[in-house]
Amino acid sequence: MSKAERAEELRALIERYRNAYYLENESLVSDSDYDELENELRALEQENPELIVDSPTEKVGGAASSLFASHRHLEPMLSLDNAFSLEELLAWDQRVGGGPYLCEPKIDGLAVSLTYEKGKLVSASTRGDGEVGEDVTANVMTISSVPHALSGSNHPEQIEIRGEVFFPLADFAKLNEGIVAAGGKPFANPRNSASGSLRQKDPQVTASRPLQMLVHGFGAWQSNVSSQSEVYELLSSWGLPTTKRYKVAGDAQEAGDYVEKLESDRHSIEHEIDGVVIKVDDLSRQSELGRTSRAPRWAIAYKYPPEQVNTKLLDIRVSIGRTGRATPFAVLEPVRVAGSEVEFATLHNQDQVRSKGILIGDTVVLRKAGDVIPEILGPVTALRTGSETEFQMPTKCPECSSDLAPASEGDVDLRCPNSRSCPAQLRERIAYIGSRSAMDIEALGYVSAAALTQPIEPKEPPLRSEADLFSLTIEQLLPIRSYVLDPDTGLPKHDGEGNPKVTDFFRKKDGEPGEVALKLLANLEEAKKRDLWRILVSLSIRHVGPVAARSLCNHFGSLEAIFAATEEELAEVEGVGPTLAASIKQWWDEDWHREIVESWGKAGVALSIPGHQGPGSMSADGPFSGMTIVVTGTLSQMTRDEAEAKIIALGGKAASSVSKKTAFVVAGPGAGSKLQKAEQLGVEVIDESAFVARLASLTN
């Protein structure tokens, strides 16, 4: 694999894990595994700057979801760099030139920005990608600790206040008890409960949850105070909730003492913490130190080691993913760690099981890395009794009995080759189509996908492949009875008596269509007009993620043109390359894959970009002839695909990265690293309105 291909693979993985964490409250990998991927990508980019193409190493958080209106921050809402040892803290201390430092608990909650104008709360939003977040004003208004109007006097004309929304630990346990009693799925941890409770469509649901907030800084503000600690005093005088646990430390050693003391007290704090935030206290020095594209240089997060417990490894089983990958996972004796009960832990592949030296029946050390993902560190060999057994990777798929084998020579992972008929792969692919990474179909989650592909009744599921998804009818949905499956393992969930849970998922008790059925059909109808790149991603072609899909769709304009292209023509598209091109051709060679595209087209799914003139089409004498133009951020009057199609129709090249050769950049809300690079290079930047006006002047 070339460096460029590895960089593309890393970008796709990191974006997937980042979106799952920020948009879906799901952590697909441990913090340590995520950090390794990001560090590897950063090292590759430092050695090969030409590989920096819309890189997640230059981004903050994740994109806003489609649940809420977008809100552009007046000042970027940045992330923090991390330190994991005193040595790393001291190295940072040397870089910034010493204290004093303000030290405070790092709350494990949801970052939120409050905007006050003349002392009145006018908006509240999540971090999003650092530039644009979700407008959650109505929901934040229900949090009792957030004042709608500031107390005191001398309020600025406008100020952004940054803080963390969290779920108090005492209330978290009560919330989960109520959810379980009502037959719902409990939240995994307080951070997820805070995010899930705040990001509700109905503010009354948020109001029913005892959320709290603590503020810790500011964004846009013409301040006349000189230190971070003075900021806290002023914010407190205005009636804003600030932590009483902060301390101003004179130097790094004193900051280290604070870190150690707080760690010993962490379980007595009313909310979850995962470390300490340390900031240069002097605001003028903060300004001098500045920031990178994603984090301030004047602050750092000291992350505590994840908590560890011992528990019993009851079994090791295998789950099958949407591309056929067979992944071992540990079945554990339930144990509470880092605030939640853990029953399963991923083991990634058979080599990792072997390298950890664990046996079925072992007592194992379990860690929740970053207080989020359970990870087995290894066995407690002194407690072995001799009854433990070695794990043997199955040779057959556990769901369709096909022979498992590597996809290519030297591949560590085993895969089920029965991509057409394997129930697990179909279930995972259907669930992926509904995800925000693909077609963003709200009612097509994991439980719906399982019901549609593996019902108890009727015996023949309504979906035998993706081909029939957009032709589903209410008559097909109503008879369905299915097991409720765990999305992490694909195994049936059980009730309090050990019986598998069964549900009439799409109908009410009286036999009438339920809300989920009606919403699913409506959502599917809406999804038929999604951007073309989302449709391409939804086909689950190996290696084809959002970045490559955008490039392919912008270049070719239709699925027909993409699949008609030669392998060489595909590989020439920016961000594609030979490996991905070969994967596309291999996918299209399967008859049943072609049936999916044909059926979707017959069902009304838009398989081309309106106005696109064909593969690489450029009007040699068009007004944009010879010009490279980049579109970034969110557009309101057209989709990004439509904007790029208009550029191509006028003879220009729609590129995905900014360089000195870029003619101009069209930047909407959420334009991050591309906008910054354009400004650094002196490239012209226009907004959507100016772009529309320019198009009108050229086409009249």
Q: Which residues are catalytic?
A: 106
DSSP conformational letter for 469: G
**312 three-class SS:** strand
Cα distance between residue 75 and residue 114, in whole Å: 12
Alpha carbon of residue 661 to chain centroid: 32
Whether the link from the prior residue into 100 is cis, omega within 30° of 0, is: yes
Half-sphere exposure of 45 (CA within 13 A, CB side): 18
Half-sphere exposure of 662 (CA within 13 A, CB side): 26
- Cβ-based neighbours of 191, under 8 Å, separated by 6 or more: 108, 109, 110, 166, 167, 272, 371, 372
Q: Concatenate the DSSP letters of all residues of 541-553 into one string.
A: -TT--HHHHHHHH
How large is the greatest C-alpha to C-alpha distance in the chain, in angstroms?
84
The β-bridge partners of 346 are 329
Q: Which tokens in the block code for residue 553? A: 């769709």
Distances in Å between the alpha carbon of 169 and those of 106, 149, 212, 230, 338?
15, 28, 11, 29, 11
The four Cα atoms 49, 53, 54, 56 give a dihedral, to 10 degrees, of: -60
Tally of CB atoms within 10 A around 139: 26
| Contact criterion met (CB below 8 Å) for 219 and 160 | yes
Cα distance between residue 526 and residue 343, in whole Å: 38
Length of the chain: 700
- Cβ-based neighbours of 448, under 8 Å, separated by 6 or more: 431, 434, 505, 516, 520
Whether the link from the prior residue into 615 is cis, omega within 30° of 0, is: no
Tally of CB atoms within 10 A around 428: 25
| Contact criterion met (CB below 8 Å) for 100 and 248 | yes
Q: Pairing between strand 158-166 and 70-72?
A: unpaired
